[in-house]
């Protein structure tokens, strides 16, 4: 026994060094991330429990007012508490439009991903590249491209007028529909990529077996393909839903001043609204919803990869 | 009897049509945007002939010049800093036995990908406002720090992927030949991981160049970048000048991303 001790000690010492080296190398990145990304989130949490200053900023006193006014408001005349309709309608619009965007991207993205996954190995990369390129280009520019298409003097309305279908332009810009079209356009790659990843490793022998057993094409789709790629469907849906819920640029450019979403409501509190604590409370609310969705996402992905093995 | 055509196992009716329509719709607005940047007229829906006048007017627009330089400097600084930090972190977190806290490190590095941008933007607005009143320091520091932070995960991912695919035997061989750890790193590890580092830096550059939300909240008065300048212009009367600026920015992004794909497809 005594003979073994020095070597075990040496191995332990080396492992300790390796761990210390790992921490030392990671430390600078972690420090920057803490200072300019994670740490400030804690300050937001603190601010949500403070009272607002008259010209923006905060007063350093504890207050639950911000959290109260996330969904409630006190009547200015008789002091009764009721639901804050303005906030609720914005929250509802955010959830509704994010959900619709998710459904639309799924409806369009599913056939697209399937199309890419069933190409030959060489062509597949080209199609995949074509989906990825818009994803890496500027979100503002893509939103602007949609704005030009749907505005009253834009291509769609001009074409309809020249074709004699309409006399007056159809107002699409600055409506909820415009925001939804924009978000669908902008977030589509986020749906296609995980769907493709799931379809690419799908075992087509199962499809063949289903056809051998006299399944129709629709049955194969519903009973074989969709259950097989379900983790990809869930992953894609969450990846689209999360940024949609926190969208800021797209609703601002395409929704105009009236059709706000949660992100714009938050910005308002730090701008003209001058209610920093409320803005902080709304941010924490958004963050909490996103975290729940992410946990769900991680669990689905883990279960999916466990099954694939 | 005539031989029947092979059964198309993978075909699903209508799927190809939807997919091709999807690709057309994905690219049509961008193509339109680029095309109308060459329009001679002021209108962005009626074609009035080819002209480069909007590029010329953007080029001579002092606000655009100013924003362009700031954007490029900011993206370059953020790319360099985040890539250096990400390279170190990747060396620390790959090719090592899993240790306690490793998952927390991953979570921390990927945090900017998970938290909604608007929330980070608000958090930085508050935090930097506190620092500014406490110290009185102004300038680009805040933008550089914010951009460096959210670029780290983008730089980290390709570098880590490269390291994980790398062969350890070469480094062991270097050590066997009496190379010091530093020499082995400089002469063997670093050259091998260079494509990953390059890819990471390019991704970080593009991500920084494209950022709108965080920049919009962090910037002080007069610190416009190209995207925030464009966001401000979109609320006014839009001229094809915005198309011209967009086209140039798009060109830069597409070029760098294409290079990124070429570099990262080369195997170790």
Q: How many CB atoms lie within 10 A of CB B107?
A: 11
Asked whether residue A1 carries a pLDDT value surpassing 70, the answer given is: no
Q: Residues B216-241: what's their mean pLDDT?
A: 90
- Lowest-confidence segment of A137-146, A234-243, A245-254, A295-304 by average pLDDT: A295-304
Chain B contact for A129 (CB, 8 A cutoff)? yes
pTM for the complete prediction?
0.90
Size of interface A-B (CB pairs under 8 A): 253
Distance CA A278, CA A72 (A): 12
Chain A residues with CB under 8 Å of B22 CB are: 108-109, 111-112, 188
Q: CA-CA distance, A239 to A113, in Å (whole number)?
A: 15
Structure tokens at A171: 């107002």
Contact predicate B130/B200, CB 8 Å: no
Cβ–Cβ gap A263/B116 under 8 Å:
yes
Residue A45 pLDDT exceeds 80? yes
- A271 falls in which pLDDT band (50, 70, 90)? confident
Triad A254, A257, A260: Cα angle to 5°: 75
Does the structure show a pLDDT above 80 at A303?
no
Of A113-117, A305-309, B70-74, the range with the lowest mean pLDDT is A305-309
Flag if B254 and A108 touch (Cβ within 8 Å). Answer: no
Q: Tell whether B249 lies on the interface with A, counting CB pairs under 8 A.
A: yes
Determine the straight-line distance between the first and last CA of chain A, rounded to whole angstroms: 42
Of B15, B46, B102, the CB nearest to A111: B15
Closest approach of chain A CAs to the CA of B108, in angstroms?
7
Put simply, the chain B residues between 2 and 31 with a CB less than 8 A from any chain A CB are 7, 9-16, 18-20, 22-23, 25-30
Q: Which of B15, B111, B257 sits opposite A37 (nearest CB)?
A: B111
**Which of B13, B44, B45 is most worth mutating to test chain A (most A CB atoms within 10 A of its CB)?**
B45
Are B109 and A31 in contact by the 8 Å Cβ rule? The answer is no
Of the two residues B121 and A87, the one the predictor is more confident about is: B121
The sign of the dihedral angle between the CA atoms of B97, B99, B105, B107 is positive
Q: In this complex, do B12 and A137 lie within 8 Å of one another by their Cβ atoms?
A: no
Q: Using alpha carbons only, what angle is made at residue A105 by residues A100 and A109, rounded to the nearest 5 degrees?
A: 155
Name residues 116-135 of chain B within 8 A of A (Cβ): 116-120, 122-127, 129-130
What residues of A are in contact with residue B259 (Cβ under 8 Å)? none
- ipTM tops the 0.85 cut: yes
B98 touching A, CB under 8 A?
Answer: no
Nearest CA in chain A to B204: A136
Listed by number, the residues of chain A in 57-86 with a beta carbon closer than 8 Å to a beta carbon of chain B are 57
pLDDT of residue A309: 45
User: Of A23, A38, A220, which has the smallest distance from its Cβ to B108's Cβ?
Assistant: A38
**Residue B144 pLDDT more than 90?**
yes
């Amino acid at each position: 026994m005594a003979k073994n001790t020095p070597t075990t000690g040496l191995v332990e010492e080396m492992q300790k060094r390796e761990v210390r080296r790992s921490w030392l190398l990671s430390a600078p990145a972690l420090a920057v991330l803490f200072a300019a990304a994670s740490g400030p989130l804690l300050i937001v949490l603190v601010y949500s429990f403070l009272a607002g200053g008259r010209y923006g900023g905060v007063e350093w006193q504890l207050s639950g007012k911000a959290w109260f006014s996330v969904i409630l408001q006190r009547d200015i005349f008789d002091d009764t508490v009721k639901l804050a309709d303005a906030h609720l309608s914005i929250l509802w619009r955010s959830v509704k439009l994010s959900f619709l965007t998710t459904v639309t991207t799924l409806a369009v993205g599913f056939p697209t991903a399937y199309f890419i996954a069933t190409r030959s190995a060489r062509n597949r990369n080209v199609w995949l590249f074509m989906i990825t390129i818009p994803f890496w280009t500027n979100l503002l520019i893509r939103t602007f491209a949609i704005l030009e298409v749907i505005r009253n003097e834009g291509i769609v309305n001009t074409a309809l007028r020249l074709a004699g279908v309409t006399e007056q332009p159809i107002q699409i810009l600055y409506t909820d529909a415009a925001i939804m079209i924009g978000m669908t356009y902008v977030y589509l790659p986020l749906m296609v990529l995980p769907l493709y990843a799931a379809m690419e490793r799908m075992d087509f022998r199962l499809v063949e077996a289903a056809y051998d057993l006299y399944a129709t094409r629709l049955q194969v789709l519903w009973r074989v393909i969709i259950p097989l790629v379900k983790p990809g469907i869930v992953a894609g849906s969450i990846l689209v839903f999360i940024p949609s819920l926190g969208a800021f640029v797209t609703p601002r450019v395409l929704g105009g001043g009236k059709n706000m979403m949660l992100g714009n409501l938050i910005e308002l509190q730090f701008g003209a609204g001058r209610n920093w604590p409320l803005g902080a409370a709304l941010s924490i609310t958004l963050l909490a919803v996103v975290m729940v969705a992410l946990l769900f996402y991680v669990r689905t992905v883990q279960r999916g990869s466990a099954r694939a093995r | 009897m005539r031989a029947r055509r092979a059964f198309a196992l993978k075909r699903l009716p209508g799927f190809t049509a939807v997919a091709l329509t999807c690709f057309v719709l994905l690219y049509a607005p961008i193509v339109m945007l680029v095309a109308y940047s060459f329009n001679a007229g002021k209108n962005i829906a009626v074609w009035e002939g080819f002209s480069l006048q909007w590029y010329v007017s953007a080029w001579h627009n002092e606000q655009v010049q100013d924003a362009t330089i700031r954007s490029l400097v900011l993206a370059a600084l953020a790319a360099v800093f985040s890539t250096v930090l990400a390279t170190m972190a990747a060396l620390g977190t790959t090719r090592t036995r899993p240790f306690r806290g490793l998952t927390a490190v991953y979570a921390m590095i990927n945090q900017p990908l998970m938290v909604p941008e608007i929330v980070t933007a608000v958090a930085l607005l508050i935090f930097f406002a506190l620092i500014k009143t406490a110290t009185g320091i102004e300038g680009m520091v805040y933008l550089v720090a914010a951009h460096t932070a959210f670029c780290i995960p983008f730089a980290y991912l390709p570098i880590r992927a490269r390291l994980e695919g790398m062969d350890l035997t070469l480094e062991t061989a270097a050590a066997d030949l009496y190379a010091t750890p530093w020499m082995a790193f400089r002469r063997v590890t670093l050259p091998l991981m260079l494509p990953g580092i390059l890819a990471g830096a390019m991704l970080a550059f593009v991500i920084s160049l494209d950022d709108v939300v965080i920049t919009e909240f962090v910037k002080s008065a007069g610190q416009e970048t190209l995207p925030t300048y464009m966001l401000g212009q979109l609320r006014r009367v839009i001229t094809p000048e915005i198309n011209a600026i967009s086209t140039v920015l798009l060109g830069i992004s597409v070029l760098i991303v294409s290079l990124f794909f070429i570099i990262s497809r080369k195997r170790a």
